Amino acid sequence: MNIQNTRASGILPTTTYFAVTAGYKLNEKSIVGIGISYNVGWGSDIQHIHISNQGIGLRSYLDIKLKGSFFATGGYEKNYNKVFTSFSQIAAGNLWQTSGLIGISKIVSLRGNLVKKTKLQLLWNFLSYYQLPQTQPLLFRVGYNF
């Protein structure tokens, strides 16, 4: 599971991205996986809370162990970043935005019963410069392994 927040801008509200991914361990150093994300909008500020469907996304990734608990991470995503009220709008639209991500991940072990490990990721979206509206090139994500 992965959670990522973005601040409100003049065009888009504050959003939270919730993602679920599943990976397959290719060998002792490599994991490949796929996932899906859902973007919920919270409104522009605390006085104007409005929950909305802000988008949905499909993800793929590859993690390669570097040393200890550090991983080189790469991924490809397609995100539908437009407000929708039904899933038929998503299937009919061609407003999907692509992201190419590369970066580094660190796994931190926790002592809890529910969450076993936390994954901290710093990713660079090298396709962000070609997106309209342009998105942030650097992403920080926190993921939880159960």
Cβ atoms of 61 and 35 within 8 Å: the answer is yes
How many CB atoms lie under 10 A from the CB of residue 71? 21
Q: How high is the mean pLDDT of the chain? A: 87
Domains of the chain: total: 1
Cβ atoms of 75 and 60 within 8 Å: the answer is yes
Average pLDDT over residues 111-119: 79
- Residue 8 is predicted with a pLDDT of 67
Domain range holding 20? 2-145
Average pLDDT over residues 33-37: 96
Average pLDDT over residues 47-75: 92
Secondary structure percentages of the chain, helix, strand, coil, to 5: 5, 65, 30
- Gap between the Cα atoms of 16 and 37, Å rounded: 10
pTM comes to 0.78
If 0-12 CB within 10 Å is exposed, 13-18 middle and 19+ buried, where does residue 54 land? buried
